[in-house]
Amino acid sequence: MVIEKPSISRPRVKKTFTDFLRVTFKGILDPIAGFLNRIGLTPNSVTLLGVAGNIIAAYFIIRGQITIGGIVMLVAWPIDALDGSMARLRGEASDWGAFVDSVSDRYSELIILGALLFHFAMTNQHIAEVVTFAAAAGSILVSYVKARAEAQSFSAKEGLLTRAERYLVLGPSLFFNIPVLGVWVIAILANFTALQRIWFVRAQAHANAKKITAKE
């Protein structure tokens, strides 16, 4: 006797801001990605260049040169966005490449927030230290909830403050030397986004449970 496994119910997922950016800047990113492919760079090497750029940005932040750190971070971000375009043009998109990209994104974000935490500690901004920790925790949880949900065959792509939005908050806040404002926004909205995704997964789980009950 074969027991039919109920299909997972996934609600329709809206396009995210990251999806919008990919489509909007495709005409710019693809030619650059094609050039990088032609000179022999690989998508993973460009991913690591993005991480290196954020390490340099963190160096300036630690030195208290917040605006310069923000400029370097804003320059490194488009570099990091090229790896996916390169892999697609090469026809070599792989699970390994996606994994490396995802992990490097988390490292890049934590490197910047870690540098800010050090800066706030050295300048005796203790409340800002706690808020920066909350921002880092929220940022990681947004990604973790998505990854864990997808491992359970759910979808958790939506949310108010995904990685693209977090960069667009943090980068300008560094550039204008108002990093405390940036970490406050991320601390509040990133954790809110994680809760959004948890609620979104809960709705899917309940829908699946009702579907199973109806079949029995």
HEC string for 117-156:
HHHHHHCCCHHHHHHHHHHHHHHHHHHHHHHHHHHCCCCC
What is residue 14's predicted lDDT score, i.e. its pLDDT? Answer: 61
pLDDT on residue 179: 97
Phi, psi of 8 (to 5 degrees): -80, 130
Q: Whole-structure pTM over 0.75, yes or no?
A: yes
pLDDT at 8: 47
What pLDDT shows up at residue 214? 79
Which has the closest alpha carbon to 184: 145, 118, 142, 130?
130
CB-based contact 82:32 (threshold 8 Å): yes
Tens-place pLDDT, residues 112-155: 999 999 999 999 999 999 999 999 999 999 999 999 999 999 99
Q: What is the pLDDT of residue 2?
A: 41
Angle formed by the axes of helices 163-175 and 66-90, to 10°?
Answer: 150
Per-residue confidence (pLDDT) for residue 94, from 0 to 100: 76
Question: What Cα–Cα distance (Å) separates residue 179 from each residue in 39, 64, 187?
Answer: 37, 11, 12
Nearest to 83 by CA among 62, 110, 105, 68: 105
Q: Please give the pLDDT value at position 91.
A: 78
Point out the catalytic residue in the list 80, 83, 101, 105: 105
pLDDT of residue 11: 52
- Domain ranges (residues) in the chain: 17-215
Residues of the chain with pLDDT below 70 are 1-22, 216
30 is catalytic: no
**How much is the pLDDT for 4?**
46
CB 158 within 8 A of CB 196: yes
Tell me the CATH architecture of domain 17-215.
Up-down Bundle (1.20)
